[in-house]
Amino acid sequence: MALPIMVLGDVGTGKSESAANLDPTSTFYIHTDKKPLSLPGAEKNYKTVYKENGKLDLQNSNYYEGNDIAVVKALLTQISDNLPHIKTIVIDTITSLMVDDFMGRLKEKGFDKYNDMAQDVYTLITMLRDLRSDLVVIVMSHVENNYDSDGVLKTSYKVPGGKLIGQNIKPEAYFNMVLYTDVTMQSTGPRYSFLTQNNGKNTCRSPRGLFTESKIPNDLAYVISEYQNFMQ
């Protein structure tokens, strides 16, 4: 059973940057956002290699850029089954997968497309636990704000298109940890952190006793190390 971790945050709040200290020799980065990977040394550390027939050379690659959710699911299985040296997979972001799927079907009439989108996201999220037990899978997503039935403004996983996913599936429930990005302005500039515990207005959570602070460094390598030490 793999360890799935969700990282939620608005644009520019440090989601991608939190992967800066991950070891590229044991990390596979699946980049679905249509922008350059903004990590120090990204071009040197993360490579996509193709065979002469044009197919992905998975054994010599640790980076894939694409927004087809079926391809991403196939990649997850292949990495789990065939790349034992890979210990961390990053999906940045699942929101882009959903947006591209939605926009590609924008002209389709009826509600079947929303059911299909919900099923795609559900199967992607639920398959993570069936991956190799020594894998950590980081799923990054954007957030949205909505009022609950009591009129309280709450932040949660962003659902492009229909609300079937957010209302019925509750993606956060399938993750051991749901970390929220946080930016605090200081005299020296912005400080980027992760929130570790629910504040009553979000869906943040982490195992009880894992972190002693409600804010921790915005560093996925640190998060994974702390979790692995906690579980020993």
pLDDT of 159 strictly over 70: no
What's the pLDDT score for residue 95?
86
Q: Distance between CA atoms of 88 and 226, rounded to whole angstroms? A: 15
Which tokens hold the place of 179? 């970390």
Q: How confident is the model at residue 167 (pLDDT cuts 50, 70, 90)?
A: low
Q: Distance between CA atoms of 126 and 70, rounded to whole angstroms? A: 14
Do the beta carbons of residue 126 and residue 140 sit within 8 Å? no
pTM, full prediction = 0.91
Do the beta carbons of residue 206 and residue 213 sit within 8 Å? no
* Ordered domains of the chain (ranges, CATH): 3-178+220-231 (3.40.50)
The CA-atom distances, in angstroms, between 193 and each of 39, 173, 220 are: 17, 22, 11
The percentage of the chain sitting over the pLDDT mark of 70, rounded to a whole number, equals 88
What's the pLDDT score for residue 14?
94
Q: How confident is the model at residue 179 (pLDDT cuts 50, 70, 90)?
A: very high
Which tokens hold the place of 107? 């002209």
What value does the CA radius of gyration of the chain take, rounded to a whole number of Å?
Answer: 18
What is the secondary structure of 62-74 as a DSSP string?
A: -EEE---HHHHHH
- How many helices, marked H, and strands, marked E, lie in the chain? 6, 10
On average, the pLDDT of the chain sits at 88
The CA-atom distances, in angstroms, between 208 and each of 6, 76, 78, 211 are: 17, 29, 33, 8
pLDDT digits (tens, 9 = 90+) for 52-106: 999 999 999 999 999 889 999 999 999 999 999 999 999 998 988 887 766 666 6
